[in-house]
Amino acid sequence: MESLTISFNAIVPMFLIIAIGCAFKSAGWITPDEVKRFNKIVFHSFMPAMLFQSIYGSELSKLIDPGYLAFVLLSVTVTFIIAILAVLPLEKDGAKRGAMIHAAYRSNYILLGTPIVAALTSDGDTGMAAVVASVTIPLYTVLAVIMLEYFRNGRLRPGGMLRSLAKNPLIIASLAGIIVKIAGIRLPGVLESAVSKLNSAASPAALLLLGASFDWKQVAGERRNILISTALRLVIFPAVMLTAGALIGYRGVEFVTLIPLFASPTAVNTFNMDQEMGADLNIASGAIAVSTALSFVTLFIWISLFKYLGMF
């Protein structure tokens, strides 16, 4: 029941906000063109604030074991490579490839990491979760920009890649957060408050736009590709990476922190980035919705299984 409650509390609020977005679309309160315009606002303001805040608010001193950090970064990179190797033989269209890979390897850790870790640890210690977010989110974003740029142009252009990275607001926000954190700079209270408020609005805004963009008929036409990405995201990656973490010997909060990193559904901000970089939005929106719905069951299974095995 505890595992079921955690899954319910993590997933259902997200679905309710998506449903509100669908209702707005059905009522005619927001059009497809308006969704695209609002998505630009989210991508260039709310999302960068969320990434900056996740790094700025973390406590790097809590990550004592550099081996754990290396495992986390290597594991995220491995999931990215596996996603590419799995998708390339199954889909030939570049825009669809980019959306499938992005949906498969990028977890919704920034939204679900802290609440899941807090619920699963006896003392509610989320310091490790915040630190893991601060190192994985920049990696997620850099890998996504490089991959999506490649599939948009059909070739690897170092100059173009560097320009895309340099102009991407999510990359800029991540770098700014890292620089400010390492330099020990404290933002003025007014600026901290503004960033915090933008951060708070990021996920609800992204979920509303996702719901408002959802086209059931077009999404159904991509059901094979959506299910491939979802299977990788919710079944293959948690099975491989959580087992690897257990075999290495991670226990307690270290293991618990891996659960939302590898077993949570597709990140909501994949939709925003995919729109900006020309990936297939039907796959993007469908993968988020389907993986979010199914994760209610899969999260319950993974949490229950590894708790039974004594990992935490």
- 18 is written with which tokens? 């998506």
Per-residue pLDDT tens digits for 272-298: 899 989 999 999 999 999 999 999 999
Residue-level pLDDT at 64: 60
The reported pLDDT for the residue numbered 135 is: 86
- CA distance linking residue 302 with residue 2, whole number of Å: 13
pLDDT for position 124: 61
pLDDT for the residue 20? 95
- What is the maximal distance between C-alpha atoms in the chain? 53
φ and ψ of 131, to 5 deg:
-65, -45
User: Which H, E and C letters describe 1-42, residue by residue?
Assistant: CHHHHHHHHHHHHHHHHHHHHHHHHHCCCCCHHHHHHHHHHH
Give me the pLDDT at residue 89, please. Answer: 97
Contact 105, 143 (CB under 8 A): yes
Rounded Cα distance between 230 and 149, Å, is 22
Sort residue 91 into left (φ over 0), alpha (ψ -120 to 50) or beta: beta
Whole-number Å distance between alpha carbons of 259 and 104? 16
What are 43-79's pLDDT values in tens digits?
Answer: 899 989 988 887 888 776 555 688 999 999 999 999 9
Q: How far apart are CA 229 and CA 226, in angstroms?
A: 5
- How far, in Å, are 83, 137, 149, 172, 204 from residue 48 at the CA level? 25, 11, 19, 8, 15
pLDDT reported for residue 54: 78
Q: Rounded to whole angstroms, how far apart are CA atoms 236 and 271?
A: 22
Residue 14 phi, psi dihedral angles, 5° rounding:
-65, -45
pLDDT digit of tens for each residue in the chain (312 aa)?
Answer: 777 888 888 788 888 998 999 999 999 999 988 988 998 898 899 989 988 887 888 776 555 688 999 999 999 999 999 999 999 999 999 999 999 999 999 999 988 887 898 888 876 667 788 788 888 988 999 999 999 999 987 777 777 778 878 888 888 988 898 899 888 899 999 999 999 999 899 888 988 988 898 887 878 899 999 999 999 999 999 999 999 999 999 999 999 999 999 999 999 889 989 998 999 999 999 999 999 999 999 999 999 999 999 999
Q: Which two tokens stand for residue 254?
A: 């270290």
pTM equals 0.87
pLDDT value at position 9? Answer: 84
Q: Is 64 exposed, middle or buried (0-12, 13-18, 19+ CB in 10 A)?
A: exposed
What is the pLDDT at residue 63?
57
Closest CA to 210 of 285, 281, 282: 285
**Six-digit token pair at 13?**
């609020």
